[in-house]
C-alpha cells in the first residue's frame, strides 16, 4: 500500500508550522472583525462623584428596523411592550422621531425617559 503522506521529520515540522500559522492568522482576522465598531455606536461613560455612578447606554436600537427580540434588550422593555412597538410600527408606519414611541400603548413619559437613551430613529 502506498502512503501519500509520508513526510520526513523536517517536512512534517514545516507542515505543522504552516497549519498553526494559518489557525493563528484566521483567529486574529475573526477577532479583528468583531473589534471594529463605528465610533458613534458604542459609548460608555462613567461619572463618579459623591457615590453617584451613571452609565450611558452602550448600544442603541433603531425603532424602525429592530425586531421585537432586539427591542427586548432595552432595559424597561419586555416581550409584551416590544411586540406592541412592532405592532404599532406595522400599523401606523415608520417612527419619525424617538418621541413618537410615546404613542405606543403602555409607554408613558416615565418609561419614555428610561428607554430614550437606548433608542434611535435613523433617517434614511
62-71 tens-digit pLDDT: 999 999 999 9
Tell me the average pLDDT across 98-102: 94
pLDDT of residue 122: 87
**Domain annotation covers residue 23:** yes
Cell numbers for 7, please give them: 513526510
Same domain, 109 and 53: yes
Same domain, 15 and 66: no
pLDDT of residue 9: 84
Question: How many domains would you assign to the chain?
Answer: 2
Cell numbers for 118, please give them: 437606548
Same domain, 61 and 112: yes
**CA-wise closest residue to 123 among 93, 90, 96:** 96
Same domain, 95 and 50: yes
Residues forming beta bridges with residue 97, ordered by sequence position: none
**Domain annotation covers residue 92:** yes
Residues 27-85 pLDDT 10s: 888 877 766 555 555 555 554 444 445 556 678 899 999 999 999 999 899 999 999 99
Same domain, 60 and 91: yes
In angstroms, the Cα distances linking 121 to 4, 66, 82, 115, 124 are 61, 10, 16, 13, 9
**Domain annotation covers residue 41:** no
pLDDT of 96 strictly over 70: yes
Same domain, 70 and 95: yes
Same domain, 11 and 30: yes
pLDDT of residue 98: 93
> For residue 80, what is the domain's CATH number?
1.10.150.320
| pLDDT averaged over every residue in the chain | 82
Q: Which domain holds residue 21?
A: 1-36
Amino acid at each position: 500500500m502506498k502512503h501519500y503522506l509520508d513526510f520526513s521529520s523536517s517536512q512534517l515540522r514545516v507542515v505543522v508550522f504552516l497549519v498553526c500559522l494559518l489557525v493563528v492568522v484566521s483567529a486574529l482576522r475573526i477577532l479583528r472583525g468583531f473589534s471594529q465598531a463605528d465610533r458613534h455606536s458604542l459609548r460608555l461613560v462613567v461619572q463618579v462623584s459623591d457615590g453617584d455612578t451613571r452609565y450611558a447606554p452602550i448600544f442603541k436600537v433603531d425603532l424602525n428596523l429592530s425586531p421585537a427580540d432586539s427591542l427586548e434588550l432595552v432595559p424597561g422593555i419586555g416581550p409584551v411592550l416590544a411586540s406592541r412597538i412592532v405592532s404599532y410600527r406595522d400599523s401606523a408606519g415608520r417612527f419619525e422621531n424617538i418621541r413618537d414611541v410615546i404613542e405606543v400603548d403602555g409607554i408613558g413619559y416615565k418609561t419614555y425617559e428610561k428607554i430614550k437613551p437606548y433608542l434611535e430613529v435613523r433617517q434614511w
